[in-house]
Structure 1
Amino acid sequence: MDTAETDQRTADRRDTDAATWRTRIRRVIRSASQPGPWKRGLVLAALALLLGLFMLLHAQIPNRIGHLGSLVETFLPWFGLVVPVLLAGALWRRSASAVTALVLPAVVWLNLFGGLLSDKSGPGGDLTVASHNVGADNPDPVGTARALAASGADVLALEELSQQARGTYEKELAKAYPHHSVQGTVGLWSKLPLADARPVDTEMDYGPLAESKPVDVDGARALRATVATDQGKLVVYVAHLASVRVNPRAGFGTAQRDRGVQALSKAIAAERNERVVLLGDLNGTMDDRAFAGITPQMHSAQDTSGDGFGFTWPASFPMVRIDQILVRGVKPVSSRTLPSTGSDHLPVVAKISW
């Protein structure tokens, strides 16, 4: 091998070594310039913290503008779906900070709704009560009535009864329920004797003269009756509060419903009987602050003895539970929704015990 060839090989080796070192240096610089796992995904981490604070402080969201607070609280459980979305983004970005920040919204959501994930229903029960907004446009009132009669409920409340369908329900339910009362657009059917059935004006201000104020029976959206049971009297309220609407300009329209809530809460507060059940389509969830006058007096059968969230509307894809069974002085044993009928609401049923 001559000297020229040796010098060439030496030069090539020096060039190779220099290229290798340049590559290593570039890798070090690139690695140093890239953020670590705690610095990646800071936007995701911020969103996670905001979500947690949003759910934690939902009661502080003002209601003065478009009833925004009530709107948020109506759909509050669904905000939990944002957590897995953010988690997927955090894992994709391999962001330790975002994963850690997600602990806050996860814990807050579980604290608010974790108790609804388990089945709390039990055996037994002294009385079965049910409620269903049958829908004024129900195309099959006969099938709906028969399905409700087959549910085995001892006391059955119906809301949104149209004049055209009222006779159908009375005929189809007569055999299973010999006692009934219809006041306006709400009705109560019972296997046990009923007494003192009367309409309740959900627009009235219940005060000292409440009993003397006349009630428009035809326009009534609520009633009160006493059911005679082997364990004593049970007062049953049936109510269909005004519908709510979401309007881009006016926001969450709840004014008429909220007046009904206030009137109903005052009526229940004035009720002297120890045992009270409220059945009906209240057009709101018990997370909504608008029901603060009722929730201290009564508790939800679904929350204490149900399986899951028990969403009832819309029947095709239930998103909220606006059909309620609330109790005072009796213990819910189990609570559930029934299969869909011709209505856009699902029926609800609960067993209660003395």
Structure 2
Amino acid sequence: MREGRDRFGWFVMLPGAVIVAVPLVFPVGSLLPTIRPWLGLAVPVLAGLAAWRRSRPALAAVMVPLVAWLGVFGGHLLPDGDEPHDLVAVQHNVSDENPDPAGTVRTLVAGHPDLVAMEEITPEAAPAYAAAFPAEYAHHTIHGTVALWSRHPLIEAAALDIRPAGLGDDWNRGLRAVARTPHGDIAVYVAHLSSVRPSPTGLDTARRDDSAARLGAALAAEPHERVILLGDLNATTGDPGLRPVTAHLATDGSDFAFSFPAALPIARIDHVLARTLTVTAVRTLPRTGSDHLPIIAGLRL
């Protein structure tokens, strides 16, 4: 009986444990980086099988994915505490079908952020959003379907062309402005990268990756040392398609604070990233009328 249990551990559990652990440490493609935190759910399943078989090798095999998961995500289980910050930014894809612009704005400004970025603002809904912002957010700019509200003056506000090849001039999902803050001028980008679509061969990321490359080129050429990017990037920061962007900017390093889909969030595809500023604890805000959750982050100079 013991020999049979040990065989189960060595020849069944160990290969299964390695299959789970390898993509945790070495994620590839667009799908694995998105679901990588959830691979940890395999650990209790494997542990249950090991306990059922009462196999010591099987129990030892469970440690392989457990150690891998803790090595990647364990630090994010610890509370962030009240980290100091100089600015606060909110990012939200409000959805072009949002039935409650005023309620959405109330949620976004409840934490008194300095900057509020929004995507999927339609021309019809834009006046309702503008009317809902308190007077202290006197500075704002809208280009296409992306917008930025600020407590601080905005200069050099203009559309940013991150349009993938083959799309027309009506595709306007990027902007750049300079926020004149008490801490100095900061270049602020708002971007909504192309969506990832299912295809017969898997996930079609070509347009998103094209958008990311164009955004990355703009960031590389940005003359201001301090830069903040707020946006729905339709990818997690571990996705190789975002490397043109993450080569220039960083976030808090956590893969948690899941923002999409709002009904059952499984990934953070909405981001606050920065250069020459430190992004502190990112968290989600309560649900609005959107299919995304808003995120809020501190920024330390």
Q: Which residue of 1 aligns with 2:266?
A: 319
Q: Which residue of 2 aligns with 1:163?
A: 123
Q: Does 1:83 align with 2:51?
A: no
How far, CA to CA, are the matches of 2:183 and 2:276 in structure 1?
12
TM-score, with length taken from structure 1? 0.80
Map 1:163-242 → 2, pairs under 5 A: 163-173=123-133, 175-203=135-163, 216=169, 219-242=171-194
The letter of the residue matching 1:289 is P
Deviation at 1:88, TM superposition (A): 0.5
Deviations 1:259-287 (A, max 9, x none): 01101111101111111000010000011
Deviation at 1:294, TM superposition (A): 1.8
* Larger Rg over CA atoms: 1
Contact 1:160 1:185 in 2 (8 A): yes
Contact 2:272 2:279 in 1 (8 A): no
Q: Which residue of 2 aligns with 1:49?
A: 18
Q: Which residue of 2 aligns with 1:22?
A: none
Map 1:122-161 → 2, pairs under 5 A: 122-161=82-121
Unaligned runs of 5+ in 1: 1-30, 60-68, 206-214
Q: Does 1:40 align with 2:1?
A: no
Contact 2:179 2:186 in 1 (8 A): yes
Contact 1:117 1:309 in 2 (8 A): no
How far, CA to CA, are the matches of 2:107 and 2:26 in structure 1?
42
Deviation at 1:296, TM superposition (A): 2.6
1:250 to 190, 201, 204: 201
Q: Does 1:279 align with 2:204?
A: no
RMSD: 1.9
Q: Does 1:329 align with 2:280?
A: no
Q: Which residue of 1 aligns with 2:65?
A: 105
Map 1:280-295 → 2, pairs under 5 A: 280-295=231-246
SS of the equivalent of 1:38 reads helix
How far, CA to CA, are the matches of 1:99 and 1:336 in structure 2?
35
Deviations 1:83-116 (A, max 9, x none): 1101100110111111112222112222222222
How far, CA to CA, are the matches of 2:138 and 2:99 in structure 1?
25
Map 1:302-313 → 2, pairs under 5 A: 303=254, 309-313=256-260
Q: Which residue of 2 aligns with 1:13?
A: none
Does the C-alpha gap of structure 1 residues 57 and 130 become closer, same or farther in structure 2, counting only changes over 3 Å? closer
How far, CA to CA, are the matches of 1:312 and 1:155 in structure 2?
18
Does the C-alpha gap of structure 1 residues 134 and 113 become closer, same or farther in structure 2, counting only changes over 3 Å? same
Contact 2:107 2:285 in 1 (8 A): no
Contact 2:121 2:146 in 1 (8 A): yes
SS of the equivalent of 1:344 reads coil
The letter of the residue matching 1:346 is L
Q: Which residue of 2 aligns with 1:4?
A: none
TM-score, with length taken from structure 2? 0.93
SS of the equivalent of 1:119 reads coil
How far, CA to CA, are the matches of 2:70 and 2:240 in structure 1?
20
Deviations 1:205-249 (A, max 9, x none): 9xxxxxxxxx94x531010000001111011000011111234x1
How far, CA to CA, are the matches of 2:8 and 2:253 in structure 1?
42
* Identity level (%): 42
Deviation at 1:325, TM superposition (A): 0.3
How far, CA to CA, are the matches of 1:142 and 1:302 in structure 2?
32
Q: Does 1:268 align with 2:219?
A: yes
SS of the equivalent of 2:141 reads strand
Contact 2:229 2:274 in 1 (8 A): yes
Contact 1:49 1:102 in 2 (8 A): no
The letter of the residue matching 1:228 is R
Contact 1:302 1:309 in 2 (8 A): no
How far, CA to CA, are the matches of 2:281 and 2:42 in structure 1?
30
How far, CA to CA, are the matches of 2:90 and 2:21 in structure 1?
36
SS of the equivalent of 1:313 reads coil
Does the C-alpha gap of structure 1 residues 46 and 204 become closer, same or farther in structure 2, counting only changes over 3 Å? closer
Contact 1:133 1:159 in 2 (8 A): yes
Deviation at 1:190, TM superposition (A): 0.6
